Copies of this chain bind each other. A is one copy, B any other.
């Protein structure tokens, strides 16, 4: 495994791999502090690629002024061990100066899809994501890029970008990885106190309950589901709901209050963002209510 810290070294390392026929190139962009969710992306990437590139970069552009850029957890030594163990060939760890050597004046942004969920709660966040991912794609020129579905909106936004701009890369979405008790893995889980960690289980529990309610027919409309999610989450006294939404996927069109889920065309997403103390957690489930109804 080769660790590179400049764009020039990265391009040299890639040229060497391409010259040796080690294609296709699979790319796993991360912000580091790796966990088993990232490991699952690396494993998928090694299955599909001749060369696996992982990047570790906490991107200031995608953090708001009152967010946790400075305190975002970092542990390079541990990250490199995991990357090595899971089969990364090249790990790219640029400095902020390497990524932004002068003030950046160019932005890539996706409209519409970014007006809801985390896009509404975190203004500018997705512009930062699409801009840095565009840069990384141009540096790595991957055939495949792997992203976790915990950030389902990010997957939808990046697929829109890739399609709209004719980028030569396929976005591969990988399932959410959870702890045994249901908590979705996140680098930010490390912020949680023991009590917060316990109460945070309400996210996955409420999503499971809501899905079951749709399947059993005990909740039929979007509004009934929103209320069910909110009432379950509110049973945890430390939980402060940012959003508990239900939308079409991947177009992220909000479903009207009285729309019947079993009549929705295609997939829907139930998505949550909930704060516990200073820590904001997200979770979601994407499924096709029609198919479920047909099976029941």
Contact = CB atoms under 8 A, between A and B. Distances in A.
Contacts of A130: 106
A70 interface: no
Contacts of A59: none
Interface string A161-174: 10011111000000
Contact of A106 (B109, B139, B168): B109
Interface string A32-55: 000000000000000000000000
A135 B105 contact: no
Nearest to A104: B164
Interface in A120-174: 130-131, 134-135, 138-139, 141, 160-161, 164-168
B113 A165 contact: no
Interface string A101-113: 0001111111111
A160 B108 contact: no
Interface residues of A, number: 25
A241 interface: no
As for how many copies of this chain the complex holds, the number is 2
Nearest to A108: B108
Nearest to A10: B166
A135 B168 contact: no
Contacts of A228: none
A108 B111 contact: no
Interface string A239-265: 000000000000000000000000000
A213 to B, nearest CB: 32
Given A165-B134, A165-B135, A166-B135, A106 B7 contact: no
B106 A160 contact: yes
A108 B165 contact: yes
B105 A112 contact: yes
A274 B164 CA distance: 35
Contacts of A141: 168
Nearest to A111: B105
20 contacts: A105-B110, A105-B111, A105-B112, A105-B160, A106-B108, A106-B109, A106-B130, A106-B161, A106-B164, A107-B109, A108-B108, A108-B165, A131-B165, A135-B164, A135-B166, A138-B165, A138-B166, A138-B168, A139-B166, A141-B168
The 3 closest A-B pairs by CB, nearest first: A106-B164, A138-B166, A106-B161
